[in-house]
């Protein structure tokens, strides 16, 4: 059996977005409701993930750009 050699990826296709002081499940639900975007609550990755959600960039470029625009419309100017 031959073995394949695969290049080691340098980056992961995920984006972590922080919402300090807000529970990650609440942020997940808010993004889903306002933007129709599915993220992953950071608390699922342990205590250090609380206050964050993780978004995937595995989609097509047009879909990712559309998701970014939706997110910017909903949260663009908030601090």
Model confidence over 35-78: pLDDT tens digits? 999 999 999 999 999 999 999 988 888 999 999 999 999 988 65
- Calpha distance 36→50 (Å, rounded): 21
Question: Residue 77 has what pLDDT?
Answer: 62
Helix, coil or strand: residue 1: coil
Question: Residue 8 has what pLDDT?
Answer: 65
Domain ranges of the chain: 14-75
0.85 exceeded by pTM: no
Q: Per-residue confidence at 4, pLDDT binned at 50, 70, 90?
A: low
Q: Would you say residue 2 has pLDDT above 60?
A: no
* Correct CATH for 14-75 of 3.40.50.300, 1.10.10.10, 3.90.1150.10, 3.40.91.10: 3.90.1150.10
Q: What is the DSSP string of 26-49?
A: HHHHHHHHHH----EEGGGG-GGG
């Amino acid at each position: 059996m031959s073995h394949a050699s695969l290049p080691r990826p340098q980056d992961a296709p995920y984006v972590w977005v922080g919402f300090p002081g807000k529970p990650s499940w609440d942020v997940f639900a808010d993004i889903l409701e306002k933007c129709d975007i599915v993220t992953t609550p950071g608390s699922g990755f342990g205590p250090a993930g609380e206050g964050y959600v993780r978004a995937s960039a595995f989609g097509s470029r047009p879909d990712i750009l559309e998701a970014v625009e939706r997110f910017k419309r909903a949260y663009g100017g908030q601090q």
